Structure 1
Amino acid sequence: MPEPAPIPMSATLAADEALARRRRAGERVLSMAAGEIGLPVLPVLRERLAAAAAENAYGPVAGSPALRTAVAGYWERRGLAVDPGLVVAGPGSKSLLFALLLAIGGDVVVPVPSWVSYAAQARLAGARPIPVPIRPGQGGVPDPDRLREAVVAARAAGQDPRVVVVTVPDNPTGTVASAGTVRRLADTARELDLVIVSDEIYGDLVYDTSEPAVSPALHAPERTVVTTGLTKNLALGGWRTGVARLPDSEPGRAPAGNALLSGFMGTHKKKWGGETAPEGGEFTPPKWFFKGFGDWVRLPGEALNVPARPVALIEEPEVALVYVNDADGTPHYAGYTFGNDLCDIGLHRQDPGYNPYCKLCDTALTPWLFLGPPPRTVTGRVTIVRDGATVWEGTFDCGDDALYYRVQDMADHLFTFPAVRRPGLVNYVLLGADEASFHDGFRIADGDRVAIDVKSHGVAFENQVRYVSPAPSATPAAAPAPAAAAAAPERVATV
């Protein structure tokens, strides 16, 4: 992915700051910059929000089942049938829009004129915005004929447009594209194999309801993402609540298992006498391991299950890089997070051939994505608590500067293998860990709580280790050996 370009301050935010300065100076101003209604919160809604204030536990990444079902009902009441499994919630529709551009990849077609953040987000994601004018009175939707011309020309020039962003109803023109224009846009996007990202956050604020806004998802459900939120129609901008409806197709319905968790071994400098790989030398890749699928990952606060009789467990605070494969299988780096790769190092040391078994322990990953390149410095502290008392503490260092290998070399080599370049696959790649409690002679026990404080990044999380006894085997015993006389069945001649 190209390097992100420097992005100036949003024109909307710059205008808001200028207006705030004038208000502080005593001037009376009317803001026509930010899309904020300025009305008080509805009393019944305020009560519901206040009642949920105590719900502070981590929830499902895509949103709670109740929320996703309610959002699907919202769209269904407006004529768009939606499976709750295709709904994703996030901290505002703006962040969801940006995440979509990162996940889909490629260059982005934006209508002219359009909300200032579309082009800025495309540039921030390392893509190039491709401006396409609207038709008169059809704001928010690029002219379908000019869209076709622009995409064909861009691809001939070596660009890679994959997304067209539309706004229905439109910001900033305040117009609503006709049903015919939206249908032609959907047909053109299908012809050009473009994903449609339809920003419909103003959908409930149409003045003339005789011609309601029509979503492109009605005409191209298999390639349309719809985003909305509570900011506009319910005046809840500060609550940052957004939702997205993913395409009603196989990529949109990708199971949680469509993610791969893996990592590298023996990468820390301490395992190489403090040295780093020589510059310019031939790259010899480190050992790699398969850790599990996406739905094997545990969140902070959840138990980390391990076999009931481990030899010797070790906690491993690590950086996890996140890559999202596009429809062609090309991996796109999205950012990084942190995790605890718990494993049975004692089993590995008994026999390195047992390493796949030793990795069959749960791993925790934090639910935050840090944007930007892999971190050079990551430092923190591990605390292990048993029966309410701290029984071991130690520091760790696991950033790029702490590794023997260069991160780019390791990642480039990993993605030479087709198995990790499957279309739509998300790869979580663990970079390698510092020495930990095991190397200090400590042994983790059932019920211990492992707390990891990544002080360099302000992230702290904790998980309890849980030994799990095996269930009785469901495999039947082998059949007894046949008697010698019956070993060779009688052959019957057929005509």
Structure 2
Amino acid sequence: MRLIQYRDVQGRLQVGVVSADGQQVHRVAGAESTYALARAAIEARTTLETLVLPRLEEALPYPVLLDEQRLLSPLTHPDPAHCLVTGTGLTHLGSAATRDAMHQKVAGDEAALSDSMRMFKWGLEGGRPAAGTPGVQPEWFYKGDGSIVTPPGAPLVSPAFALDAGEEPELVGLYLIGPDGTPHRLGFALGNEFSDHVTERQNYLYLAHSKLRACAVGPELRTGALPADLQGESRIRRGGEIVWRKPFATGEANMCHTIENLEYHHFKYAQHRRPGDVHLHFFGTATLSFADGVRLQPGDRFEIEQPALGAPLVNPLVVDERRFAAGGVRAL
């Protein structure tokens, strides 16, 4: 099932189910939000599909909702401060050539490896444990709260101080913490993790700074099992011209960690199991225009396509020229 959140013509929040052909959306009767539906499903000890499918009403043309930019991210919290946006890196194997090169690099003396390559090697060796068994820890980072999440179609805003504004096409897990502290995965969505790669490359200790940026998630939330091999494409469009494009492969067949292992190392922390909180967790990528020397410009459009997850995620890039002044903190 493919869920979306959207605004009707009166501006009211609605939840819909996208048809298999991607042409129609059936409204879910009485649904205040995906968040409310998920809470109800947890309380009833049932699945989202079981709860939603009997409540489908009139059909709307999905392309119209996309064209009119009436979609929201597929899971939002009524209080953005209770939505935690995080991610894991060094999780993907990349192309066959990249895979071979990585294996050759990590085959030598571990003491001679960079910290990043050592982390990648650990993932190769211990990131895919047996089900129910913890594996090696991945790299982990914090991006922000729900206020940084940009809806599909809306501008991704880069701050004036940023040195780069690059896309990161990724798979995102969407979660709600139940009343007893159990994390519940609603499903998966497309994401543009959007980072400052120039800042990160100055020194790996700047990774935390480079991740404190906006991101985009959606348009759709796919429930149920996820295919192991997900093949799509990431593109940069400048005006009417595509200036960069590259295959975007994700899913466990293309990763050195299992989803279960990445989830375990996120939710093992008690502060990540606070009842009622929403978590949007990015699972990493191996596809970056920055790695191919592309420098993004304001007005460029990110297009991330992964057919198994529904409609593409499209966002233009803008720069916020406002700056926080040095010395702008006031003493009381």
TM (norm. structure 1) is 0.49
Question: After superposition, what is the alpha-carbon deviation per residue over 1:296-338, rounded to whole angstroms, capped at 9, x for unaligned?
Answer: 2111211111122533443111110111111222111111110
What residue is the counterpart of 1:63 in the other structure? 7
| Equivalent residues of 2:234, 2:304 under 8 A apart | yes
Aligned partner of 2:27 among 83, 88, 92: 92
Aligned length: 274
Alpha-carbon offset, residue 370 of structure 1? 0.3
2:220 and 2:30 mapped to 1: Cα distance? Answer: 13
What residue is the counterpart of 2:212 in the other structure? 360
What residue is the counterpart of 2:74 in the other structure? none
* Pair 1:475-2:328 in alignment: yes
* Pair 1:262-2:86 in alignment: yes
Aligned partner of 1:442 among 277, 282, 294: 294
| Equivalent residues of 1:383, 1:390 under 8 A apart | yes
* Pair 1:378-2:230 in alignment: yes
Unaligned runs of 5+ in 2: 17-25, 62-76, 104-120
Distance 1:397 1:239, change over 3 A: closer
| Equivalent residues of 1:306, 1:360 under 8 A apart | no
| Equivalent residues of 2:85, 2:144 under 8 A apart | yes
| Equivalent residues of 1:451, 1:461 under 8 A apart | yes
Query: Match for 1:63: what amino acid?
Result: R
Distance 1:286 1:356, change over 3 A: same
Alpha-carbon offset, residue 61 of structure 1? 3.6
What residue is the counterpart of 2:39 in the other structure? 103
Distance 1:447 1:92, change over 3 A: closer
Counterpart of 1:459 in 2: which secondary structure?
A: coil
Query: Match for 1:443: what amino acid?
Result: R
What residue is the counterpart of 1:315 in the other structure? 167
Aligned partner of 1:339 among 164, 173, 191: 191
Sequence identity (%): 26
Query: Match for 1:92: what amino acid?
Result: R
Alpha-carbon offset, residue 92 of structure 1? 3.1
| Equivalent residues of 1:262, 1:291 under 8 A apart | yes
2:196 and 2:43 mapped to 1: Cα distance? Answer: 44
Distance 1:89 1:125, change over 3 A: closer
Alpha-carbon offset, residue 397 of structure 1? 0.7
| Equivalent residues of 1:321, 1:374 under 8 A apart | no
Distance 1:333 1:457, change over 3 A: closer
| Equivalent residues of 1:104, 1:326 under 8 A apart | no
Alpha-carbon offset, residue 432 of structure 1? 0.5
Distance 1:372 1:95, change over 3 A: farther
Question: After superposition, what is the alpha-carbon deviation per residue over 1:272-296, rounded to whole angstroms, capped at 9, x for unaligned?
Answer: 6268444559722111111121232
| Equivalent residues of 1:257, 1:293 under 8 A apart | yes
Distance 1:477 1:427, change over 3 A: closer
1:238 and 1:300 mapped to 2: Cα distance? Answer: 21
Counterpart of 2:297 in 1: which secondary structure?
A: coil
Query: Match for 1:316: what amino acid?
Result: E
Distance 1:386 1:238, change over 3 A: closer
Alpha-carbon offset, residue 391 of structure 1? 1.6
Unaligned runs of 5+ in 1: 1-59, 69-86, 110-121, 128-164, 166-200, 202-227, 232-236, 241-252, 480-495
TM (norm. structure 2) is 0.70
Distance 1:257 1:367, change over 3 A: farther
Aligned partner of 2:143 among 273, 287, 291: 291
| Equivalent residues of 2:15, 2:33 under 8 A apart | no
Alpha-carbon offset, residue 67 of structure 1? 4.7
Q: Considering only CA atoms, is the larger Rg found in Structure 1 or Structure 2?
A: 1
Alpha-carbon offset, residue 102 of structure 1? 3.9
Higher deviation after alignment, 271-280 or 459-468: 271-280
